[in-house]
Amino acid sequence: MAGLVVAADSPAGRAAEAINDLTRHLPEPGAPAVCPTCAARFWPCTYFYDAAHRMHNARLRVGDVVPVELHPRLWPPPAASATPHDSRAWPPETGTFGEEHDHG
């Protein structure tokens, strides 16, 4: 007997359901900040996070379902500490204490 139908209660069934929910709550290519299912709700929405959590529990990779261009929104790059100005300008020339020639 070939069991092609996955029972909804099985891990695979729950995983498939999670993937379904996740894709339903994925933003459309033109509007990456809006969930098309939850009208006028900011993305990532609560339902997306819930589905992602269930996918994670099913040992599936959320990143395999989410389009690559949306990855930075979900997982911001950790190298955000790169400062635009030159960090070699240190120490800053503010308040040299100790030597005060304040005599007129």
Pairwise CA distance, residues 42 & 44, whole Å: 6
Pairwise CA distance, residues 15 & 84, whole Å:
43
Identify which of residues 38 and 60 has a Cβ nearer to Zn ion in the complex. Answer: 38
What 3-state DSSP class applies to 83?
coil
Nearer residue to Zn ion within complex by CB, 16 or 38: 38
- Show the binding pattern over residues 8-37: x = contacts Zn ion (CB under 5 A), - = does not: -----------------x---------x-x
Part in contact with Zn ion (CB under 5 A); list of ranges 38-46, 52-60, 74-82, 84-92:
38-46
Print the SS3 string covering 7-40: CCCCHHHHHHHHHHHHHHCCCCCCCCCEECCCCC
- Determine, following the binding rule CB under 5 A, whether residue 54 of this chain makes contact with Zn ion: no
Q: Would you state the torsion angle of the CA atoms of residues 41, 39, 30, 44, taken in this order, to the nearest 10 degrees? A: 30
Size, binding site for Zn ion by CB under 5 A:
6
Q: Please identify which residue in 6, 21, 32, 47 interacts with Zn ion, judged by CB under 5 A.
A: 47
Determine, following the binding rule CB under 5 A, whether residue 49 of this chain makes contact with Zn ion: no
**Positions in the binding site for Zn ion (CB under 5 A):** 25, 35, 37-38, 45, 47
